[in-house]
Amino acid sequence: MSLLSAFKKFTNDRSTMEVKIFIGALTDSGVFNGRVNPSQAEYIFDKVKNSANLRGINYQQFETCLSQIAAQGGMTRQQIEGMLIEQSKKLGAKEGDPSRFFYDKSSYTGVHTKGGPSTIDNNGYSHLSQLCDRSGANVRGVNK
């Protein structure tokens, strides 16, 4: 896998990369250390971008950013490229099936292990009139 394919994977095959994606890719790859941090990377991104009207950078500008971050972070550009390529391989990996928790009854906890709550828990009452005493009362609210 090349750096260009990693760039395309991070940007979902777009020709430009926005700063949010750039910082996220570097963070997830573990590029930031004590010598370089996200705010410095964002500054480098804006400096390389050249125009306040543009939202993102193209691939050549991305390479320039990586070179500057490598110089500032005390790493080689190949190290950063390797970290980004490894991280891009993890993108798109199939995650576990969420329905597993629904169908696997052995993983249920709490009241669900005993059959769950009933929606017809009426305790012998089938109507509100059986629960409330609406007979006449005196001024103090005591039934006659």
With bands split at pLDDT 50, 70 and 90, how would you rate the model's confidence at 62? very high
What is the token pair recorded at 102?
A: 């629904």
Question: Domains in the chain and their CATH numbers?
Answer: 3-90 (1.10.238.10)
More confident residue, 83 or 96: 83
What is the token pair recorded at 16?
A: 């430009």
DSSP structural state of residue 113:
G
pLDDT value at 1 more than 60:
yes
pTM (whole model) above 0.75 = no
Coil, helix or strand for 141?
A: coil
Average of per-residue pLDDT values in the chain: 83
More confident residue, 26 or 126: 26
Q: Which helix (H) or strand (E) holds 7?
A: helix 3-10
With bands split at pLDDT 50, 70 and 90, how would you rate the model's confidence at 52? confident
Amino acid 136: pLDDT: 84
Compute the distance between CA of residue 133 and CA of residue 131 in angstroms, rounded to an integer.
7
Q: How far apart are the first and last CA of the chain?
A: 87
